[in-house]
């Protein structure tokens, strides 16, 4: 399936809605197939699995005839219907089925529908070891859980076909013709590309008239997930081959040069203090990634985010320097104002945790460092009243925002995408309906953040080079690489 473009999504109140969701609303087609319908029709899947499509279709036709004969079309192909037939009817039907197929084809179902609750069925079909039966069930579930797979579509065809032969399917002749044509075409036939979706939509069409048997479904899934263990599926990325030593030394040399420049030649240059301050914060975050091997971690993402944000801020300040009286001081007092707010709150708060990581006294000293705090404004909106997105656009770095910052923000805010990616592991056992398991053993590793950290450090240094002209020999080949 071709993916829909972002421009095809409808933007409603800050939310992108995919074109499919617009049409399908809350039907949740695949979910209802896998959870609500497949358990009813797994028996058909077992026959297809055993015989293949062509022979399977022949066997199933014969069985459908037997079903029709036993109760004249009162029941449908749902297995819960079959199990609800009277004992006498079940005995006749199962005897007839066993004259068409051997026990072992449906025997896997006896693991779920056991003697204690379904004595007639279990006695008629039980055969083979538990392991053998379990394996077949898992294989067939795996093939049929996707509601669009060829095997699922074959099963869904049978459902419709039975309605047709018992005279309960009412639709235009052209559509009936397509239905009748379906079993005679192979799946790789071009015409099937049109007929398969038609079969599936027809089967969805009958949902509104069919009643879901929750008792049956719950018993099915409970039994089947009890039988098998979780098979956790996670991605592992090694950080063994990441080489950072030489590069970090080169970066250190650059920072040492710039730091000396500030301290020795222009100690009171506020612009330089701000730019180097921001750049040093980025450097320290990147250094933490290296020293604490955060390459494949959640915290690593937080580091990339701040490196991007700092770089955008540096570019923004440089770009808007001319239009402000003193953007460097304004920028400093914007940040100090936010600290003042915290200090003020802490004074008003009765309960203060002495073990807190916030050092209120030190904060207070910082707030009063150059100016009495009474003269410092507190601005709770963004610096210069522009969010980081607008700032990124202003400085021509929209992609850094759209491709990196936004993703890393999901991690910073603990949004579900980040939670799903980092903290939940998929179980690939189809019998468990592909559920998720909390990753409490920390098995799930994430993609390495180092190439992006390095790119952002390099771009930060290159920006400083434009402003201060760093000696050529310090801009090594590795630092000169942009991406």
The residues binding Zn ion (CB under 5 A) are 230, 427, 429, 432
Q: What minimum distance in Å lies between the beta carbon of 233 and Zn ion?
A: 10
Q: What minimum distance in Å lies between the beta carbon of 434 and Zn ion?
A: 8
Nearest to 395 by CA among 323, 448, 333, 317: 317
Q: What minimum distance in Å lies between the beta carbon of 424 and Zn ion?
A: 12
C-beta closer to Zn ion: residue 239 or 423: 423
C-beta closer to Zn ion: residue 198 or 221: 221
C-beta closer to Zn ion: residue 230 or 446: 230
Q: What's the CA gap between 408 and 289, in Å, rounded?
A: 15
Determine contact, residues 93/85, Cβ cutoff 8 Å.
Answer: yes
Determine contact, residues 48/155, Cβ cutoff 8 Å.
Answer: yes
Q: What minimum distance in Å lies between the beta carbon of 430 and Zn ion?
A: 10
C-beta closer to Zn ion: residue 61 or 233: 233
Collapsed DSSP state (helix, strand, coil) of residue 54: helix
Q: What minimum distance in Å lies between the beta carbon of 420 and Zn ion?
A: 16
Nearest to 386 by CA among 320, 301, 305, 326: 320
Q: What minimum distance in Å lies between the beta carbon of 129 and Zn ion?
A: 22
Please, what sign has the CA dihedral across residues 389, 390, 393, 395?
A: negative
Output DSSP code: residue 317: H
Strand locations in 295-444 (E): 424-427, 436-438
Determine contact, residues 406/394, Cβ cutoff 8 Å.
Answer: no
Q: What's the CA gap between 90 and 75, in Å, rounded?
A: 12
The residue with its CB nearest to Zn ion is 427
Give the angle 21-26-27 at the CA atoms, nearest 5°.
100
C-beta closer to Zn ion: residue 101 or 427: 427
C-beta closer to Zn ion: residue 39 or 300: 39
Name the CA radius of gyration of the chain, rounded: 33
Output DSSP code: residue 404: I
Q: What minimum distance in Å lies between the beta carbon of 221 and Zn ion?
A: 11
Query: How many CB atoms neighbour CB 280 within 10 A?
Result: 16
C-beta closer to Zn ion: residue 220 or 411: 220
C-beta closer to Zn ion: residue 138 or 160: 138
Q: What minimum distance in Å lies between the beta carbon of 123 and Zn ion?
A: 31
Q: What minimum distance in Å lies between the beta carbon of 429 and Zn ion?
A: 5
Please, what sign has the CA dihedral across residues 408, 409, 415, 416?
A: negative
Determine contact, residues 158/206, Cβ cutoff 8 Å.
Answer: no
C-beta closer to Zn ion: residue 431 or 449: 431
Q: What minimum distance in Å lies between the beta carbon of 432 and Zn ion?
A: 3
Q: Copy the structure tokens of residue 24.
A: 């399908």
C-beta closer to Zn ion: residue 248 or 437: 437
Determine contact, residues 450/244, Cβ cutoff 8 Å.
Answer: yes
User: How many helices (DSSP H) and strands (DSSP E) are in the chain?
Assistant: 24, 5
């Amino acid at each position: 399936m071709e993916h829909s473009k972002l421009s095809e999504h409808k933007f409603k109140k800050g939310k992108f809605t995919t074109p499919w969701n617009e049409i399908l609303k809350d039907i949740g087609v695949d979910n209802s197939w896998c959870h609500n319908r497949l358990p009813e029709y797994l028996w058909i899947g077992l026959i297809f699995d055993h015989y293949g499509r062509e022979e399977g279709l022949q066997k199933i036709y014969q069985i459908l005839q037997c079903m029709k004969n036993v109760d004249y079309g009162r029941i449908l192909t749902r297995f819960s219907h079959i199990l609800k037939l009277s004992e006498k009817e079940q005995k006749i039907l199962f005897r007839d089925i066993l004259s068409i197929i051997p026990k072992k084809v449906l025997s896997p179902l006896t693991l779920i529908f056991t003697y204690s609750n379904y004595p007639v069925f279990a006695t008629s079909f039980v055969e083979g070891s538990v392991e053998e039966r379990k394996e077949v069930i898992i294989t067939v579930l795996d093939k049929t859980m996707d509601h669009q797979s060829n095997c699922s579509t074959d099963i869904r065809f049978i459902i419709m076909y039975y309605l047709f032969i018992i005279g309960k399917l009412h639709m235009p002749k052209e559509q009936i013709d397509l239905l009748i044509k379906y079993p005679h075409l192979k799946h790789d036939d071009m015409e099937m590309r049109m007929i398969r979706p038609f079969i599936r939509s027809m089967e969805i069409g009958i949902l509104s008239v069919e009643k879901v048997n929750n008792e049956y479904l719950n018993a099915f899934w409970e039994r089947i997930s009890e039988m098998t263990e979780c098979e956790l599926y996670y991605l592992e990325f090694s950080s063994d081959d990441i080489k950072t030593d030489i590069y970090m030394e080169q970066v250190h040399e650059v920072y040492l040069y710039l730091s000396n420049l500030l301290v020795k030649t222009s100690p009171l240059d506020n612009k330089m203090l701000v730019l180097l301050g921001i750049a040093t914060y980025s450097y320290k975050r990147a250094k933490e990634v290296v020293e604490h091997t955060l390459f494949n971690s959640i915290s690593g993402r937080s580091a990339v985010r701040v490196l991007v944000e700092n770089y955008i801020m540096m570019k923004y300040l440089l770009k808007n320097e001319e239009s402000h009286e003193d953007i460097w001081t304004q920028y400093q007092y914007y940040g100090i104002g936010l600290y003042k707010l915290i200090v003020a709150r802490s004074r008003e708060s009765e309960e203060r945790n002495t073990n807190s990581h916030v050092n209120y006294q030190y904060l207070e000293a910082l707030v009063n460092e150059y100016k009495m705090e009474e003269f410092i404004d507190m601005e709770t909106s963004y610096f210069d009243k522009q969010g980081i997105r607008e700032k990124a656009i202003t400085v021509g770095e929209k992609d850094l925002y759209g491709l990196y910052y936004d993703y890393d923000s999901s991690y910073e805010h603990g949004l579900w995408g980040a939670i799903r990616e980092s903290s939940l592991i998929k179980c690939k056992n189809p019998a468990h309906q592909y559920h998720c398991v909390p990753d409490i053993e920390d098995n799930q590793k994430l993609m390495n953040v180092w190439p992006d950290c390095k790119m952002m450090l390099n771009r930060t240094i290159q920006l400083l080079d434009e402003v201060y002209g760093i000696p050529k020999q310090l801009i090594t080949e590795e630092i000169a690489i942009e991406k």
